[in-house]
Amino acid sequence: MPAYDAPVPKPLNISAVLWDFGGVILSSPFEAFNRYEASRGLPADLIRTVNATNPDSNAWALLERSDISPAEFDALFASESEALGHRVPGADVLALLSGDVRPQMVRALDTVIANGFLTACLTNNVVSTSEPENERQAQVRDIMARFHHVVESSKVGCRKPEPRFYEIACELLAVSPTECVFLDDLGINLKPAAAMGMRTIKVGDPSHALAELSAHVGLSFD
């Protein structure tokens, strides 16, 4: 963690910083989706279009709530994508989910923690496999261990953007939504958080996102 002399006073009544994982701490899986689509001559953003169709009850939603198995997801996603004109096996999509760690964001997380802010990771995810842990998975586990709490859709039975998901995070941290800043790369996930009173930051360029976070928490990030 970065060296510091004393915690910086928290401005603007902010006590907690909530972080999405994929697309924030890790690079966005959308980049891998687009590479896959281009390599197979599929329409750009096909996978995202499938995910956005019936978003509360489609294969993605069911898998992230652990309502179906990865094998069931494989078949159901293939069927959903075929209905849009191009069959894509769900197993292919799951293989694309691993993004690259963004060291800049990990350093920012460490700085936030070192200065006395509470943290939680709010992630829509799927049940992990029992395969032996590889180096990347160990790196992700190390980052996850930094957070005060981790809220995983596959474990709590709800997902972003369902309001209950954000309520769980606030309850675990014992804070109100108005005391929180939330970073996510998807606007659909930020809207309910903002409606609850959270300050929200849409993450595209990490440097721009951290400049916004700096304004909320009064810290400097490299």
- Tell me the CA distances in angstroms from 32 to 2, 12, 60, 80, one per residue in order: 32, 38, 17, 20
Every domain of the chain and the residues it spans: 16-28+101-217, 29-94
pLDDT at residue 3 in the model: 46
| % pLDDT > 70, the chain | 92
In the predicted model, is pLDDT for residue 166 greater than 80?
Answer: yes
In the predicted model, is pLDDT for residue 6 greater than 70?
Answer: no
**pLDDT tens digits for range 169-209:** 999 999 999 999 999 999 999 999 999 999 999 999 999 99
Query: CATH for 29-94, among 3.30.1330, 1.10.150, 1.10.3470, 1.10.10?
Result: 1.10.150
**pLDDT tens digits for range 121-152:** 999 998 766 566 677 788 999 999 999 999 99
User: What percent helix, strand, coil does the chain show, rounded to 5?
Assistant: 45, 10, 40
**Overall CATH class of domain 16-28+101-217:** alpha beta
For the entire predicted model, the pTM comes to 0.83
